[in-house]
A and B are shown apart, each in its own frame.
Chain A
Amino acid sequence: MTDITKEAIMPPRSFLSQDAIQVFYRLLAALLICAVLAVLSDSFLSLGNILNVLRQASLTFFIASGLTLVVLTAGLDLSVGANVALSACIAGTVIHKTGSPALGILTGLACGGIVGLLNGIMVTALRIPSFIATYGMLWVLNGLTYWYMAGETLHGFPAGFRQIGSGYLFGLPIPIYLLLVFLGIGTLFAQRTIWGQEIYAIGANPVAARLSGIPVARRLLLVYAVSGTMAGLASIIFLSRLNSAEADIGESLTLPAIAAVLIGGTSLFGGVGTVFGTFIGALILTLVLNGMNLLSVSANWQPLVTGIIVILAVWLDMKTRRRAQ
């Protein structure tokens, strides 16, 4: 055998992984925003406000965490908001009819999961691009929900059930505990399981992933089902917090969730990103909106600011990654 192995001339990768560095930048940005808001507004640093920010961020995060997995596979789930609405309405009905919150929660999660699975089947078996499949699903779900609710509003749930969204434990809102739990589960799943690794591999190059022996279709089914189930979970927290459900509650949820994923550094091209990044993304988004409220900036400006943050975040992300390459 000839010794042709040349000393490679590229610089070694740094100690921290690319993903860790990107998350670090985002934490820095979040802290910077906090610092600015603390200076500009007296009430920002109050415990009540901080808990409020975290609670709001948690709802976006639940939806966005499942979505992150979908985006990691280079897919998109546009039906999450509509899924939240349908799941909330169905769960609410079950609770009203049976009086059992546990049964309602299970139905809500199941409904979300089944919708996700249907998305997955459209993407894998029917090979419809995820963007289009879930966009169609958005309309179907909206249609079902409007028909089912027929303009009615579900209202008034048992006090125990309402604790999930509005209760406190050791002085902290319960959604914050749920946030920590699912942040942990999501991060472990993505980084520390072989399924997570396979999801990254699929997003990085689906053809190579399949030819490397990864069961791509099964993993995609899983990812869409998880995304749907997380929407189901969000629907329960939504229901419990608002103490009511209407057909249109999901309409303002999808785009912020996508924004959180993108601000968090997950690439729409797949294979790059973290669940923890999405959490920071949701936090940044919520912080900015919270700050605008505290500073009495008209709510009309919020979409504009969100848009600018998303574009800025993605642009900076591309710039820093390119330099790292």
Chain B
Amino acid sequence: MSDALPIEVTSPTPLLELRGISKEFPGVKALDDVSFAVYPGEVHMLLGENGAGKSSLMKVLCGAYRADAGEFYYEGKKVAISSTADAQKLGIAVIFQEFSLVPYLDIAQNIFLGREPKGHIPGTIDRRKILADAKRVLDTIGFDIDPSTIVDKLGVAQQQMVEIAKAISQNARILVMDEPTAALSDRETELLFALIARLKADGVSIVYISHRMAEVFALGDRITVLRDGRRIDGVRPADVTPDQLVRMMVGRNVDMTYPRNFADKPGELLLEVKGLTASTGISDINIEVRRGEIVGLCGLVGSGRSEVARAIFGADPVSAGEIIFDGKTISGEPDLAARRGIALIPESRKSEGLALLRSVSDNLVVSALRKLFPSGLFDQRGAQRTSDALIRQLRIATPSARQTVGLLSGGNQQKVVIGKWLAAGSKLFIFDEPTRGIDIGAKSEIFALIDRLVAEGAAALMISSEQVEICHVCDRAYVMREGRIAGHLNRNELTEENIVRLGMHHA
């Protein structure tokens, strides 16, 4: 695993260079002799599977972690980054996935938090100046909004803009962005890309962590691939293919074809949704799912896909319409839907899918308690046996069933969420973004698992923003637009273009 030769660049000295950075935690080498350089005005993509060391490198960069070994050079001069203050002084700012804004303060206060211009009376803030200053910063990034808007009222994309504005106001010269498009719609993503181009032109360098191949090629000037805490290679997008990058990330050929064995003909009707309407913004939804099918539910973020899933599961109240499952009408709370055999694998597994502080075993049996222990008496050893079987079956990488589930990687956490419904013996699995934040290898495992489920007579309704996933995995798909079903695509019509065309406004 020798380091590749450095790539020649137009600018001779890097803005920031890391040499031989190592960082060890008890039992794991998070970073192992990683070298990494950022040149002025470039977008440097940082690639790697979950656990490859991207986050650790990012935290070393911004001073949150102190490297055990290695050197930092800023414009060729040796510097130390041993605290976040050091990093800030060098103009390094990080936009984390979880924003660090104060929700009940306005945009201007957030941008200048801790650096507010003082008013005449001691202890007060010069309101006029802070608003004017904020407006100026927002203008430089082309974000047209009233700086006195409370941050809590902003959408994810707008909050991200405020974070960027805050970084720019601190004269950031290196902006580290951790999967910035993960929660953005296509339109918002375009706006973000335009902003990145603008920042680049101003000489700001961007370190960009992404799981999305398309972005890597659309944005990146250079790419650094990490794997198991080591730098595998540094390349230019023009010199590699996506397949080559994937191979670098996983260290072997990954079969990115999606494992799916399509059935000759679908089974009996399992779920029938008629005219479903809910106050969460969906109306007149008609959906059918048969046994042995994977049915896609696509559309833009915010088109009501998750709301449909939640309404079917009973998580949100329904105002009109009918849900017929396995021949019987259901209406009520999630416990009823779960008992009948419906499973929801929610979008945010950490906040909605798992009790992070509880053990893998506790999480795996939580939906199956009544089935596993019909007498009502719980038995830790029985739970352990069921969990061990599921851990083997799903190949969940955990030292034991007693491990705290929050310590597992994203892919393994997702397997635990799915496993809990396997234990419960569910018949219909509703997946809401099942592969979000999961590395490529685990993704293909998850799809293989879904394929196996439906082959055994279950059915799946799958929401995904990755249209390519829908196209490869689903038997057919519904496309949503503004809270309604905009169209239905059969297997032979299922293309990314068709999904986009149906999902776009006024198409």
> Residue B376 contacts which of A4, A195, A214 (CB distance < 8 angstroms)?
A195
Q: Would A11 and B399 be within 8 Å (CB), given that A212-B338, A213-B339 are in contact?
A: yes
Q: Would A211 and B366 be within 8 Å (CB), given that A4-B250, A11-B399, A12-B402 are in contact?
A: no
Q: Measured between C-beta atoms, what is the minimum distance from B463 to chain A in Å?
A: 15
A residues near B259, Cβ cutoff 8 Å: 1
Q: Verify if B99 is at the interface (C-beta below 8 Å from A).
A: no
B315 touches A2 (CB 8 A): no
- B310 and chain A: residue at smallest CB distance: A211
Bound together, the chains give a CA A209 to CA B339 distance in angstroms of 14
A13 touches B403 (CB 8 A): yes
Bound together, the chains give a CA A200 to CA B407 distance in angstroms of 19
B362 touches A10 (CB 8 A): no
Q: Would A211 and B313 be within 8 Å (CB), given that A9-B27, A192-B379 are in contact?
A: yes
B residues near A212, Cβ cutoff 8 Å: 334, 338, 366-367, 420
Bound together, the chains give a CA A61 to CA B402 distance in angstroms of 30
Q: Which residues from 372 to 390 on chain B have a C-beta closer than 8 Å to any C-beta of chain A?
A: 373, 376-379
Q: Verify if B400 is at the interface (C-beta below 8 Å from A).
A: yes
Q: Which residues from 190 to 210 on chain A have a C-beta closer than 8 Å to any C-beta of chain B?
A: 191-198, 200-201, 204-205, 207-210
Q: Measured between C-beta atoms, what is the minimum distance from A315 to chain B in Å?
A: 19
Q: Verify if B2 is at the interface (C-beta below 8 Å from A).
A: no
Q: Measured between C-beta atoms, what is the minimum distance from B159 to chain A in Å?
A: 21
Q: Which residues from 265 to 290 on chain A have a C-beta closer than 8 Å to any C-beta of chain B?
A: 271-272
Q: Measured between C-beta atoms, what is the minimum distance from A125 to chain B in Å?
A: 13
Q: Which residues from 4 to 41 on chain A have a C-beta closer than 8 Å to any C-beta of chain B?
A: 4-13, 17
Pick out which of these stretches binds chain A: B205-213, B271-279, B352-360, B498-506: B352-360
- B259 and chain A: residue at smallest CB distance: A1
Q: Would A201 and B403 be within 8 Å (CB), given that A4-B441, A4-B445, A211-B334 are in contact?
A: no
Q: Verify if B496 is at the interface (C-beta below 8 Å from A).
A: no
A213 touches B337 (CB 8 A): yes
Q: Measured between C-beta atoms, what is the minimum distance from A203 to chain B in Å?
A: 9
A204 touches B378 (CB 8 A): no
Bound together, the chains give a CA A217 to CA B314 distance in angstroms of 14
Q: Which residues from 324 to 340 on chain B have a C-beta closer than 8 Å to any C-beta of chain A?
A: 333-335, 337-339
B residues near A6, Cβ cutoff 8 Å: 51, 397
Q: Verify if B235 is at the interface (C-beta below 8 Å from A).
A: no
B residues near A211, Cβ cutoff 8 Å: 313, 315, 334, 344, 346, 352-353
Bound together, the chains give a CA A78 to CA B148 distance in angstroms of 40
Q: Verify if A325 is at the interface (C-beta below 8 Å from B).
A: yes
Q: How many A-B contacts at CB < 8 Å in the complex?
A: 130
How many of chain A's residues touch chain B, expressed as a range?
35 or more
Bound together, the chains give a CA A42 to CA B354 distance in angstroms of 53
Q: Verify if A151 is at the interface (C-beta below 8 Å from B).
A: no
How many of chain B's residues touch chain A, expressed as a range?
35 or more
B residues near A214, Cβ cutoff 8 Å: 335, 366-367
Bound together, the chains give a CA A146 to CA B393 distance in angstroms of 63
A2 touches B444 (CB 8 A): yes
Q: Would A9 and B358 be within 8 Å (CB), given that A194-B369, A212-B366 are in contact?
A: no
Q: Verify if A184 is at the interface (C-beta below 8 Å from B).
A: no
B358 touches A10 (CB 8 A): no
Q: Would A1 and B444 be within 8 Å (CB), given that A197-B366, A205-B355 are in contact?
A: yes
A residues near B339, Cβ cutoff 8 Å: 213
A residues near B355, Cβ cutoff 8 Å: 201, 204-205, 208-209, 271
B residues near A197, Cβ cutoff 8 Å: 362, 365-366, 369, 378
B397 touches A7 (CB 8 A): yes
- 0/1 interface trace, chain B 38-81, chain A, CB 8 Å (1 if under): 00000000000001000000000000000000000000000000
Q: Which residues from 212 to 262 on chain A have a C-beta closer than 8 Å to any C-beta of chain B?
A: 212-215, 217
- A325 and chain B: residue at smallest CB distance: B404
- 0/1 interface trace, chain B 412-431, chain A, CB 8 Å (1 if under): 10000000100010000000
A213 touches B338 (CB 8 A): yes
A10 touches B333 (CB 8 A): no
B residues near A10, Cβ cutoff 8 Å: 27, 399, 403, 407
A residues near B369, Cβ cutoff 8 Å: 194, 197-198
A201 touches B250 (CB 8 A): no
Q: Verify if B489 is at the interface (C-beta below 8 Å from A).
A: no
B338 touches A201 (CB 8 A): no
Q: Verify if B491 is at the interface (C-beta below 8 Å from A).
A: no
A192 touches B445 (CB 8 A): no
Bound together, the chains give a CA A289 to CA B306 distance in angstroms of 56
By a beta-carbon cutoff of 8 Å, the part of chain A in contact with chain B is 1-13, 17, 191-198, 200-201, 204-205, 207-215, 217, 271-272, 325
The 10 closest A-B pairs by CB, nearest first: A213-B338, A4-B441, A204-B355, A194-B369, A12-B399, A215-B335, A13-B402, A205-B355, A9-B28, A5-B395
By a beta-carbon cutoff of 8 Å, the part of chain B in contact with chain A is 26-28, 51, 250, 254-255, 259, 313, 315, 333-335, 337-339, 344, 346, 351-359, 362, 365-367, 369-370, 373, 376-379, 395-400, 402-404, 407-408, 411-412, 420, 424, 439, 441-442, 444-445, 448
Pairs A–B under 8 Å by Cβ, sample size 7: A1-B448, A4-B439, A207-B351, A207-B352, A208-B351, A208-B355, A210-B335
5 further A-B contacts with Cβ under 8 Å, apart from A6-B397, A192-B378, A197-B362, are A5-B395, A5-B397, A193-B378, A212-B334, A213-B367
